Protein backbone atom coordinates (compact mmCIF):
# COMPACT_ATOMS: atom_id res chain seq x y z
CA UNK A 1 0.00 0.00 0.00
CA UNK A 2 1.28 3.48 -0.85
CA UNK A 3 0.74 5.17 2.52
CA UNK A 4 2.03 8.49 1.20
CA UNK A 5 -0.59 8.75 -1.53
CA UNK A 6 -3.35 7.64 0.84
CA UNK A 7 -2.34 10.38 3.28
CA UNK A 8 -1.94 13.16 0.72
CA UNK A 9 -4.88 12.54 -1.63
CA UNK A 10 -7.52 15.18 -1.07
CA UNK A 11 -11.26 14.95 -1.55
CA UNK A 12 -12.84 17.81 -3.46
CA UNK A 13 -16.47 18.46 -2.56
CA UNK A 14 -18.30 18.91 -5.87
CA UNK A 15 -21.84 19.57 -7.03
CA UNK A 16 -23.63 16.58 -8.48
CA UNK A 17 -25.22 17.37 -11.83
CA UNK A 18 -26.95 14.11 -12.74
CA UNK A 19 -28.20 15.36 -16.07
CA UNK A 20 -24.89 16.76 -17.26
CA UNK A 21 -22.72 13.76 -16.50
CA UNK A 22 -21.72 10.97 -18.83
CA UNK A 23 -18.60 9.02 -19.57
CA UNK A 24 -16.58 9.34 -22.73
CA UNK A 25 -16.06 5.60 -23.11
CA UNK A 26 -16.62 4.31 -26.64
CA UNK A 27 -17.25 0.62 -27.20
CA UNK A 28 -15.99 0.30 -30.76
CA UNK A 29 -13.41 1.98 -32.94
CA UNK A 30 -14.44 2.58 -36.55
CA UNK A 31 -11.11 1.43 -37.94
CA UNK A 32 -11.23 -1.94 -36.17
CA UNK A 33 -14.73 -3.39 -36.56
CA UNK A 34 -17.20 -4.17 -39.36
CA UNK A 35 -19.47 -1.32 -40.41
CA UNK A 36 -22.54 -3.42 -39.61
CA UNK A 37 -21.35 -3.63 -35.99
CA UNK A 38 -21.05 0.14 -35.78
CA UNK A 39 -24.63 0.43 -36.98
CA UNK A 40 -25.73 -2.21 -34.47
CA UNK A 41 -24.08 -0.32 -31.61
CA UNK A 42 -25.71 2.96 -32.60
CA UNK A 43 -29.14 1.34 -32.83
CA UNK A 44 -28.78 -0.60 -29.58
CA UNK A 45 -27.42 2.29 -27.53
CA UNK A 46 -30.10 4.66 -28.82
CA UNK A 47 -32.72 3.08 -26.60
CA UNK A 48 -35.16 6.00 -26.65
CA UNK A 49 -38.02 3.69 -27.64
CA UNK A 50 -37.60 1.61 -24.50
CA UNK A 51 -40.56 1.46 -22.16
CA UNK A 52 -38.25 1.64 -19.13
CA UNK A 53 -38.39 4.80 -17.01
CA UNK A 54 -36.98 5.86 -13.65
CA UNK A 55 -39.26 5.39 -10.66
CA UNK A 56 -39.93 7.88 -7.86
CA UNK A 57 -37.19 6.20 -5.82
CA UNK A 58 -34.63 7.57 -8.30
CA UNK A 59 -35.58 11.24 -7.88
CA UNK A 60 -35.10 13.48 -4.82
CA UNK A 61 -37.82 13.10 -2.21
CA UNK A 62 -39.06 15.71 0.20
CA UNK A 63 -37.58 15.20 3.65
CA UNK A 64 -34.70 13.02 2.43
CA UNK A 65 -31.37 14.76 3.07
CA UNK A 66 -28.80 14.63 0.29
CA UNK A 67 -25.34 13.30 0.93
CA UNK A 68 -21.92 14.64 0.02
CA UNK A 69 -20.29 14.01 -3.34
CA UNK A 70 -16.50 14.09 -3.56
CA UNK A 71 -14.03 13.86 -6.41
CA UNK A 72 -10.43 12.73 -6.20
CA UNK A 73 -7.64 11.74 -8.57
CA UNK A 74 -5.86 8.44 -8.07
CA UNK A 75 -2.65 7.22 -9.71
CA UNK A 76 -2.23 3.47 -9.49
CA UNK A 77 0.96 2.00 -8.10
CA UNK A 78 0.14 -1.72 -8.14
CA UNK A 79 -1.77 -3.28 -11.03
CA UNK A 80 -1.57 -0.30 -13.42
CA UNK A 81 1.55 1.70 -12.52
CA UNK A 82 1.32 5.43 -13.28
CA UNK A 83 -2.22 5.20 -14.73
CA UNK A 84 -4.47 7.95 -13.31
CA UNK A 85 -8.24 7.80 -12.89
CA UNK A 86 -10.97 10.19 -11.79
CA UNK A 87 -12.92 8.67 -8.91
CA UNK A 88 -16.00 9.92 -7.07
CA UNK A 89 -17.03 9.02 -3.52
CA UNK A 90 -20.62 9.54 -2.40
CA UNK A 91 -21.45 9.62 1.30
CA UNK A 92 -25.19 9.54 2.08
CA UNK A 93 -26.30 11.65 5.03
CA UNK A 94 -24.94 10.10 8.23
CA UNK A 95 -22.32 7.89 6.61
CA UNK A 96 -19.36 9.58 8.27
CA UNK A 97 -20.78 8.92 11.74
CA UNK A 98 -21.98 5.36 11.11
CA UNK A 99 -20.34 2.51 13.01
CA UNK A 100 -20.09 0.48 9.79
CA UNK A 101 -20.99 1.18 6.16
CA UNK A 102 -21.58 -1.01 3.14
CA UNK A 103 -19.94 -0.17 -0.18
CA UNK A 104 -21.29 -0.04 -3.72
CA UNK A 105 -18.63 0.24 -6.42
CA UNK A 106 -19.78 1.31 -9.90
CA UNK A 107 -17.45 0.91 -12.86
CA UNK A 108 -17.77 3.58 -15.56
CA UNK A 109 -18.95 5.59 -12.59
CA UNK A 110 -20.26 8.67 -14.38
CA UNK A 111 -22.73 6.50 -16.26
CA UNK A 112 -24.28 5.51 -12.94
CA UNK A 113 -24.49 9.02 -11.51
CA UNK A 114 -25.97 10.22 -14.80
CA UNK A 115 -29.51 10.55 -16.03
CA UNK A 116 -30.24 6.90 -16.78
CA UNK A 117 -29.56 5.60 -13.26
CA UNK A 118 -29.10 8.41 -10.69
CA UNK A 119 -27.49 5.94 -8.31
CA UNK A 120 -26.65 8.49 -5.61
CA UNK A 121 -30.28 9.55 -5.25
CA UNK A 122 -31.30 5.89 -5.04
CA UNK A 123 -28.81 5.47 -2.18
CA UNK A 124 -30.20 8.54 -0.42
CA UNK A 125 -33.79 7.31 -0.65
CA UNK A 126 -33.25 3.66 0.24
CA UNK A 127 -30.86 4.39 3.11
CA UNK A 128 -33.27 7.01 4.50
CA UNK A 129 -36.19 4.56 4.53
CA UNK A 130 -34.05 1.75 5.93
CA UNK A 131 -34.63 -0.49 2.91
CA UNK A 132 -30.89 -1.01 2.55
CA UNK A 133 -28.11 -0.57 5.13
CA UNK A 134 -26.01 2.58 5.17
CA UNK A 135 -24.16 2.26 1.86
CA UNK A 136 -21.58 4.60 0.35
CA UNK A 137 -20.89 4.77 -3.37
CA UNK A 138 -17.51 4.62 -5.12
CA UNK A 139 -17.85 5.65 -8.77
CA UNK A 140 -14.72 4.63 -10.63
CA UNK A 141 -13.83 5.83 -14.12
CA UNK A 142 -11.23 3.97 -16.20
CA UNK A 143 -7.60 4.97 -16.31
CA UNK A 144 -7.13 7.85 -18.71
CA UNK A 145 -4.02 6.47 -20.39
CA UNK A 146 -2.91 2.98 -21.22
CA UNK A 147 -2.61 0.55 -24.09
CA UNK A 148 -6.17 1.24 -25.17
CA UNK A 149 -8.59 -1.41 -26.34
CA UNK A 150 -6.65 -4.35 -27.74
CA UNK A 151 -8.55 -5.42 -30.86
CA UNK A 152 -10.76 -2.34 -30.71
CA UNK A 153 -8.55 0.73 -30.63
CA UNK A 154 -9.01 3.59 -28.17
CA UNK A 155 -6.63 5.38 -25.86
CA UNK A 156 -7.76 4.59 -22.29
CA UNK A 157 -7.06 1.71 -19.93
CA UNK A 158 -10.71 0.60 -19.82
CA UNK A 159 -10.50 -2.77 -21.59
CA UNK A 160 -7.36 -3.75 -19.70
CA UNK A 161 -9.08 -3.00 -16.39
CA UNK A 162 -12.56 -4.35 -17.12
CA UNK A 163 -12.26 -7.00 -19.86
CA UNK A 164 -9.16 -8.84 -18.69
CA UNK A 165 -10.14 -12.03 -16.83
CA UNK A 166 -7.66 -11.74 -13.98
CA UNK A 167 -7.63 -10.53 -10.39
CA UNK A 168 -5.65 -7.36 -11.23
CA UNK A 169 -8.57 -4.95 -10.98
CA UNK A 170 -9.80 -6.51 -7.74
CA UNK A 171 -6.29 -6.18 -6.32
CA UNK A 172 -6.20 -2.54 -7.40
CA UNK A 173 -9.43 -1.81 -5.54
CA UNK A 174 -8.52 -3.75 -2.41
CA UNK A 175 -4.90 -2.66 -2.06
CA UNK A 176 -5.21 0.95 -3.21
CA UNK A 177 -8.71 2.40 -2.98
CA UNK A 178 -10.08 0.54 0.05
CA UNK A 179 -7.40 1.94 2.40
CA UNK A 180 -8.23 5.44 1.17
CA UNK A 181 -11.98 4.94 1.70
CA UNK A 182 -11.28 3.74 5.23
CA UNK A 183 -9.76 7.12 6.05
CA UNK A 184 -13.21 8.67 5.46
CA UNK A 185 -15.70 6.05 6.73
CA UNK A 186 -15.77 2.82 8.75
CA UNK A 187 -15.97 0.38 5.86
CA UNK A 188 -17.40 -3.04 6.64
CA UNK A 189 -15.03 -5.99 6.54
CA UNK A 190 -17.88 -8.31 5.51
CA UNK A 191 -17.84 -9.08 1.76
CA UNK A 192 -21.64 -9.46 1.94
CA UNK A 193 -21.72 -5.71 2.55
CA UNK A 194 -19.92 -4.92 -0.69
CA UNK A 195 -21.40 -4.91 -4.18
CA UNK A 196 -19.47 -4.26 -7.38
CA UNK A 197 -21.52 -3.10 -10.33
CA UNK A 198 -20.84 -2.36 -13.98
CA UNK A 199 -22.25 -1.84 -17.45
CA UNK A 200 -21.06 -3.63 -20.62
CA UNK A 201 -17.33 -4.34 -20.16
CA UNK A 202 -17.79 -2.99 -16.65
CA UNK A 203 -20.32 -5.75 -16.00
CA UNK A 204 -17.77 -8.36 -17.02
CA UNK A 205 -15.15 -6.60 -14.90
CA UNK A 206 -17.44 -6.56 -11.87
CA UNK A 207 -18.10 -10.29 -12.11
CA UNK A 208 -14.42 -11.06 -12.70
CA UNK A 209 -13.38 -9.09 -9.61
CA UNK A 210 -15.82 -10.94 -7.37
CA UNK A 211 -15.07 -14.34 -8.92
CA UNK A 212 -11.37 -13.94 -8.18
CA UNK A 213 -11.84 -12.26 -4.78
CA UNK A 214 -15.07 -13.44 -3.15
CA UNK A 215 -13.39 -12.74 0.19
CA UNK A 216 -13.69 -9.02 -0.67
CA UNK A 217 -16.71 -8.77 -3.00
CA UNK A 218 -19.78 -10.75 -2.02
CA UNK A 219 -22.22 -9.26 -4.53
CA UNK A 220 -22.27 -8.46 -8.26
CA UNK A 221 -24.61 -6.35 -10.38
CA UNK A 222 -24.04 -6.55 -14.15
CA UNK A 223 -25.95 -4.52 -16.73
CA UNK A 224 -25.63 -5.70 -20.35
CA UNK A 225 -22.43 -7.45 -19.30
CA UNK A 226 -19.99 -8.07 -22.14
CA UNK A 227 -19.35 -11.75 -21.44
CA UNK A 228 -17.99 -12.02 -24.98
CA UNK A 229 -14.56 -12.54 -26.53
CA UNK A 230 -12.99 -9.10 -26.16
CA UNK A 231 -10.19 -10.12 -23.79
CA UNK A 232 -11.51 -13.49 -22.70
CA UNK A 233 -14.70 -12.72 -20.74
CA UNK A 234 -16.47 -15.34 -22.89
CA UNK A 235 -14.67 -17.90 -20.72
CA UNK A 236 -16.42 -16.83 -17.52
CA UNK A 237 -19.48 -19.12 -17.84
CA UNK A 238 -17.21 -22.11 -18.33
CA UNK A 239 -15.06 -21.01 -15.39
CA UNK A 240 -18.20 -20.87 -13.23
CA UNK A 241 -19.18 -24.40 -14.25
CA UNK A 242 -15.73 -25.86 -13.61
CA UNK A 243 -15.17 -24.21 -10.21
CA UNK A 244 -16.86 -25.03 -6.90
CA UNK A 245 -19.53 -22.47 -6.03
CA UNK A 246 -18.20 -19.29 -4.50
CA UNK A 247 -20.07 -17.16 -1.91
CA UNK A 248 -21.22 -14.53 -4.41
CA UNK A 249 -24.73 -13.18 -4.98
CA UNK A 250 -25.25 -12.18 -8.63
CA UNK A 251 -27.90 -10.00 -10.28
CA UNK A 252 -27.48 -9.50 -14.03
CA UNK A 253 -29.53 -8.11 -16.89
CA UNK A 254 -29.65 -7.96 -20.67
CA UNK A 255 -32.32 -7.40 -23.30
CA UNK A 256 -33.60 -8.48 -26.70
CA UNK A 257 -32.02 -5.47 -28.42
CA UNK A 258 -28.61 -5.86 -26.73
CA UNK A 259 -25.56 -6.19 -28.95
CA UNK A 260 -24.72 -8.91 -31.46
CA UNK A 261 -21.27 -8.01 -32.82
CA UNK A 262 -18.07 -9.59 -34.06
CA UNK A 263 -16.92 -10.41 -30.49
CA UNK A 264 -20.12 -12.23 -29.60
CA UNK A 265 -23.82 -11.98 -28.85
CA UNK A 266 -24.39 -10.32 -25.46
CA UNK A 267 -27.94 -11.65 -24.88
CA UNK A 268 -26.76 -15.21 -25.58
CA UNK A 269 -23.68 -14.67 -23.41
CA UNK A 270 -25.84 -13.56 -20.47
CA UNK A 271 -28.15 -16.53 -20.91
CA UNK A 272 -25.04 -18.74 -20.88
CA UNK A 273 -23.83 -17.13 -17.65
CA UNK A 274 -27.29 -17.55 -16.13
CA UNK A 275 -27.27 -21.27 -16.97
CA UNK A 276 -23.79 -21.69 -15.49
CA UNK A 277 -24.78 -19.92 -12.26
CA UNK A 278 -27.86 -22.11 -11.96
CA UNK A 279 -25.77 -25.21 -12.67
CA UNK A 280 -23.56 -24.36 -9.69
CA UNK A 281 -26.60 -23.27 -7.61
CA UNK A 282 -25.49 -19.67 -7.08
CA UNK A 283 -27.80 -17.18 -5.39
CA UNK A 284 -28.48 -15.39 -8.67
CA UNK A 285 -31.13 -13.43 -10.54
CA UNK A 286 -31.18 -12.93 -14.32
CA UNK A 287 -33.57 -10.31 -15.70
CA UNK A 288 -34.03 -10.38 -19.46
CA UNK A 289 -36.02 -7.53 -20.95
CA UNK A 290 -36.70 -5.79 -24.22
CA UNK A 291 -34.07 -3.05 -24.12
CA UNK A 292 -30.80 -2.43 -25.92
CA UNK A 293 -27.23 -1.80 -24.84
CA UNK A 294 -28.01 0.97 -22.40
CA UNK A 295 -28.74 1.64 -18.73
CA UNK A 296 -32.43 2.42 -19.25
CA UNK A 297 -33.64 -0.95 -17.98
CA UNK A 298 -30.97 -0.96 -15.30
CA UNK A 299 -32.00 2.46 -14.00
CA UNK A 300 -35.68 1.57 -13.93
CA UNK A 301 -35.06 -1.39 -11.63
CA UNK A 302 -31.98 -0.15 -9.74
CA UNK A 303 -33.81 0.43 -6.43
CA UNK A 304 -35.36 -3.04 -6.67
CA UNK A 305 -31.95 -4.50 -7.50
CA UNK A 306 -30.27 -3.02 -4.41
CA UNK A 307 -33.10 -4.24 -2.18
CA UNK A 308 -32.59 -7.75 -3.60
CA UNK A 309 -28.82 -7.64 -3.09
CA UNK A 310 -29.04 -6.50 0.56
CA UNK A 311 -32.33 -8.23 1.36
CA UNK A 312 -31.02 -10.21 4.33
CA UNK A 313 -29.27 -7.22 5.94
CA UNK A 314 -32.38 -5.24 6.88
CA UNK A 315 -35.43 -5.90 8.99
CA UNK A 316 -38.63 -6.80 7.16
CA UNK A 317 -40.56 -3.71 6.17
83-117: pLDDT as tens digits: 999 999 999 999 999 999 999 999 999 999 999 99
Residues 294, 315: Cα–Cα separation, whole Å:
33
* 53-68: pLDDT as tens digits: 999 999 999 999 999 9
- CA–CA dist 89, 84 (Å, integer): 16
User: To the nearest 5 percent, what fractions of the chain are helix, strand and coil?
Assistant: 35, 20, 45
- Report how far residue 297's alpha carbon sits from residue 290's, in angstroms, rounded to the nearest whole number: 8
What is the sign, positive or negative, of the torsion defined by CA atoms of 219, 78, 156, 163?
A: negative
Give the C-alpha separation, 254 to 270, whole Å. Answer: 7
**What are the tens digits of pLDDT across the range 183-203?**
999 999 999 999 999 999 999
In the chain, which residues have pLDDT < 50?
Answer: 20, 24-25
How far apart (Å, rounded) are the C-alpha atoms in residues 215 and 94?
A: 27
pTM of the model: 0.91
* Cα–Cα distance, 235 to 229 (Å, whole number): 8
For residue 24, the model assigns a pLDDT of 47
Look at the alpha carbons of 218, 181, 23, 235 in this order and tell me if their dihedral is positive or negative.
negative
Length of the chain: 317
Residue 5, pLDDT score: 78
Give me the long-range contacts of 24-31 (CB less than 8 A, separation at least 24): 25/108, 25/111, 25/142, 25/156, 25/158, 26/154, 27/152, 27/200, 27/201, 27/293, 28/152, 28/261, 29/149, 29/152, 29/153, 29/154, 31/153
pLDDT of res. 287: 98
Q: What pLDDT was estimated at residue 137? A: 98
pLDDT for position 34: 66
What pLDDT, on a 0 to 100 scale, did the predictor assign at position 148?
59
3 state DSSP class of 270: helix
Amino acid sequence: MNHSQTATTELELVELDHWGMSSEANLLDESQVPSKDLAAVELSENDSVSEYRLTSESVPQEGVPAGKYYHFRWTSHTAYPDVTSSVYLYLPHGAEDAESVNLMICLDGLEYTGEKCRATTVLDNLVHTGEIPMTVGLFHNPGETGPGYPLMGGSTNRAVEYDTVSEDFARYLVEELFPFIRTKVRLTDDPKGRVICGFSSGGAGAFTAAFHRPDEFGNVISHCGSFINILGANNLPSMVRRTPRKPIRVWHQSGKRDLDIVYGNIPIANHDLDAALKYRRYDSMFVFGTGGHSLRHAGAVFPETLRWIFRDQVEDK
